[in-house]
Chains A and B, each alone.
Chain A
Amino acid sequence: MHACLADLASELGQNAWESGASRIFLRVREAGERVEIECRDNGCGMDAATAGRVFDPRFSDARKHPDRRFGLGLPFVKQTAEATGGDARLETRPGNGCAVIAVFGRRHVDLPPLGDLPAAFAGLMAFEGEYELTIERERDGRSYRVRRSELRAALGELRSAPALSMAKDWLASHEEAAQGKGNHHGSNDT
């Protein structure tokens, strides 16, 4: 399963993009005793019967892989949330997008490390197609926010590896500030 919270954020962002969304909102927030990962999209959404099964690892809509019947992404999110005393829930309607809100116990011994959020965010900026992705990151009152369109305007494009590397560096500089590490470069991997 996923080794860090940044992987769970990647998972939710990738799901949102696959839903055909033109707008995606992703927030990773650490405050008080909680860590929250929230992802909202305006993609295809799903009906109640499907929504009721998405946290079941033996369920997949089989759209991508007709002969495979596992869908582990959301079950991983829920399992991790519950293991830390939190929970994950889904709000959706057909044609009206999805919201997944996962809450984790911040002090819980089973909370995975945060991981490399700048790499996760940069990766989510790099999918193909026209979509707006808004990232919000908050840690104990320190925060940053960026939209895909802003990074693309600054970099000219978000397809070449050099542009993506710079997007990652930009995000890392803000992540360091949010974490109160003002004086050195370095990975956010823990």
Chain B
Amino acid sequence: MAPMTLDELRKLRESKRREFAQRTEGEGRTEIVIGMGTCGIAAGAKAAFSAIVDQVALHGLENVVVKQTGCMGLCAAEPTVEVVRPGMPGVVYGRVDEEVGRQIVDRHLLKGELLGEHLFDKPAADLLRPASGRA
């Protein structure tokens, strides 16, 4: 494939957006937050990020926003992915590889199911205090 120009990228985006718009109309916004601290990166957060954005794009879910954050203290459970979907409790998943990332999209986002085997509650207790990091 020849390298894509920015203008080709813009046209592709516009056509996909029109195609997807009808599928996502009227739904609230889902946020996916991927831990990209050193621990997350070392454990494969980039592969999880890549799999999740591709799977969301495959389903054309325009209302899914992906954010990244640093370490939330669950280093042993990295890569961690927090999901906040309208109508469901916000949860943190641990040990999210590419396959689990795709399942988060297929099951949690599309079907409203929690992936119990990868579920964590909240950040580690010693980190639940105000920090002065970047907002």
Docked pose: A174 CA to B39 CA in angstroms: 29
Docked pose: A66 CA to B76 CA in angstroms: 18
Give the size range of A's interface with the partner.
Answer: 35 or more
Docked pose: A51 CA to B63 CA in angstroms: 42
Quick check: B62 and A128 within 8 Å, CB to CB?
no
User: Which residues on the A side are within 8 Å of B65 (C-beta)?
Assistant: 159-161
Give the size range of B's interface with the partner.
Answer: 35 or more
**Min C-beta distance of B12 to chain A, whole Å:** 6
Query: Interface readout for B1-19 with A: 1 if CB under 8 Å, 0 if not?
Result: 1111011011011001100
Contact of A2 among B1, B13, B42, B60 (CB under 8 A): B42
User: Which residues on the A side are within 8 Å of B20 (C-beta)?
Assistant: 162
Quick check: B2 and A73 within 8 Å, CB to CB?
no
Cβ-closest chain A residue relative to B4? A173
User: Which residues on the B side are within 8 Å of A176 (C-beta)?
Assistant: 1, 3
- Residues of chain B from 24 to 42 with CB closer than 8 A to chain A in the complex: 32, 36-39, 41-42
Residues of B within 8 A of A (CB): 1-4, 6-7, 9-10, 12-13, 16-17, 20, 32, 36-39, 41-42, 44, 46-47, 49-50, 52-54, 56-57, 60-68, 70-71, 73, 126-127, 129, 131-134
